[in-house]
Amino acid sequence: MLPRFLLLLALLASAVRAAPDARPNILWILADDLGPELGCYGYPLVKTPHLDRFAAEGVRYTHAFTTAPVCSSSRSALFTGRYQTAIGAHHHRTADPQPLPPGVRTVTDHLRAAGYFTVNVTPSAEVRRAGGRGPDGATGTGKTDFNFKVEKPFDGTDWRQRAPGQPFFAQLSLAAPHRGPAWQEAKRRAGRIDPAAVPLPRFTPDHPVARQDLADYLEAVQLADSDFGDVLARLAREGLAENTVVIFTSDNGQCLFRSKQFLYDGGLRVPLLVRWPDRRRAGTVDDRLVSGIDLTAAVLGLAGAPPDPGMHGIDFLNPGATARDHVIAARDRMGLASDRQRAVRTHRYKYIRNYFPAIPYLQPNLYKEREYPTWNLFKELAAAGRLTPEQRPFAAAVKPAEELYDVLADPDEVRNLAADPVHAAALADLRAKLDAWLAAYPDGGRLGEEPLDILRVNRAYMESTRAPRPAARP
C-alpha cells in the first residue's frame, strides 16, 4: 500500500511541476527618449495607431515622470526601484561603476526568486548583421545602460528560452525615437511631417533648423509606434497576448533641445500605458502622479512576488495604494557637463533647486553640441541678440538658485515665479518637500568626483563621434 501511495504522490508532484503557471507574463516595453507626443495623448500631427489602440484597451496615465532626464541614471532607478542618487548611479556616465550597495537587489533578482524567467530581448548576431531587425520586426535593442555592476541582470535574451509553462518578465527596449540610426530609418519608413506645421514650445526659436529637428523627432516617434505594433503582433501570433500584462513607457523624456538632460517636463514626462490580459479598466485615463520607481514596485505586485520594503516606489497598481502628491527628480553630471539640480513636481507646480548657479544652462556639452542642431542654433541666436524675452534666461551666464513654474498656466516652463510673492506659499511648500526627501534618502550628489575619472568616461565618446554639426544659417 505504501509504495502505491508514494507513487501517487510522485505523479501528483510531477503534474504540479508540469502545469502551466497561472501568473501573468509581464512585458515591459521602453521606448528610448520618448515624451507623451502620441495621438492618444492628444498631440497633433503624429500618427500612432498602434499605441492609440493599445491605450483604448488599457489605462493611460497622464502624469508619469522619470527620476532623471537621461537614460543611464533613469534606467538604474527603474531597474532597482530606488532613486539613482541613493545607490551611486546618478552621474551619466559613471566613471567606475560599482556593485549595488548591500541589500539592494534588482527587479529581476526578485522575479527570478519568485519563479519568473527574466529576459532582456536582444537581437541575435545574425539579426545585428542584417541591420538590427528580426524577421518579425519585433526585436529589442538589448539596452541596459546601468550605472552599476551586476553579474546576472537577466536569464536570457528571448522569452522562447524559458521552461515550458514558466512565466516570464521581459524588458524590450525600442531604438526609436533616440537620435541616430532610428531617425534615418524613420525617414524611410514613417510618414513625413511638415516642419512648417510643428507646434514649437516657447523656449525653442522659430527657425527652420529647430522646426526640422522637431519634425525629425516626431517621425521617429511614428517609427516607435510601428515597432511597438510589431511586438504586439508577435505576442498575438505566439498565443501570449491573453496572459501577458504589457507596460509601455520610456526611460526619459523627448530628445530635444531643452528637454533630455534637463529637469523641465520635456526631459522627465513620459507616456505610461498599461494593458491587462482581461482588458480591465479599458479606455481609462488616470491622472495620478507616477514616478519611474513606482513601476518597479508595481511589477513585483503583478508577479505576486514579496514586496521589497527597501524600494522607494509605490505599487500604484494596487487598488489600496496611496496617491502621490508630488514626484522627485534629479540631474547630475551629463558626460563632461557637471551640475547638480533637484526638482519637485506636483500637479500644478515645478520647483527646481540649482546647487551650482554659476554654471550656465548652456555649459559645454559634447553630446548636445554634436547631436542637437537646435542647441548650436540657440547659442548663435543668443550671441546675435535674436532670442525672445522668454528664451533669454536659458542663455544667461548664470542660473537662478531656484526656479518655480505654474505648469498649468505655463506648461513650457518659461516664467520663473520663485521671486513672485503671489506664489510664496507654493515655493515654501515645495522647498519643504525637497528638504524632506533629502533627509529621507542618501544623495550621492553631495560628493565630488575625481576629475581624471570623468575624463576617462568621455575619452571613448570624443574619439568615436563625429565633429560638431553646425546649425544651418538663416
Once rounded to an integer, what is the mean pLDDT over residues 218-223? Answer: 97
- Determine the average pLDDT of the residues in 134-158: 88
Least confident range from 3-7, 74-78, 123-127, 312-316: namely: 3-7
Lowest-confidence pick of 7-21, 47-61, 127-141, 316-330: 7-21
Residues 386 and 403: their CA atoms lie apart, in Å, by: 24
Percent of the chain with pLDDT over 90: 84
Nearest to 93 by CA among 454, 466, 465: 454
Buried-exposed string 294-310: b where 16+ CB fall within 10 A, e elsewhere: bbbbbbbebbebeebee
Homologous superfamily (CATH) of 22-464 is Alkaline Phosphatase, subunit A (3.40.720.10)
What is the structure's pLDDT at 22? 87
Give SS3 for 270.
strand
Mean pLDDT within 81-90: 97
Pairwise pLDDT comparison (373 vs 452), residue with the higher score: 373
Please report the pLDDT score of residue 125 as a whole number.
Answer: 67
pLDDT digits 0-9 by tens, 237-281: 999 999 999 999 999 999 999 999 999 999 999 999 999 999 999
- Quote the pLDDT of residue 472: 44
The pTM assigned to this predicted structure is 0.92
Average pLDDT over residues 313-324: 96
SS3 readout for 160-175 = HHCCCCCCEEEEEEEC
pLDDT at residue 89 greater than cutoff 70: yes
Q: pLDDT class for 17, splitting at 50, 70, 90?
A: very low
pLDDT of residue 2: 42
Mean of the per-residue pLDDT values of the chain: 92
Within a 13 Å sphere around the CA of 172, how many CA atoms are in the beta-carbon half? Answer: 27
pLDDT score for 460: 66
Can you tell me the mean pLDDT for 344-368? 97
**CA-to-CA separations, 249 to 63, 85, 242, in angstroms, rounded:** 12, 21, 20
31 within 8 A of 23, measured Cβ to Cβ: no
Task: Specify the pairing of strand 59-65 against strand 269-275.
Answer: antiparallel
CA dist., res. 204 & res. 217, Å (int): 14
Residue 12 has pLDDT above 90, yes or no: no
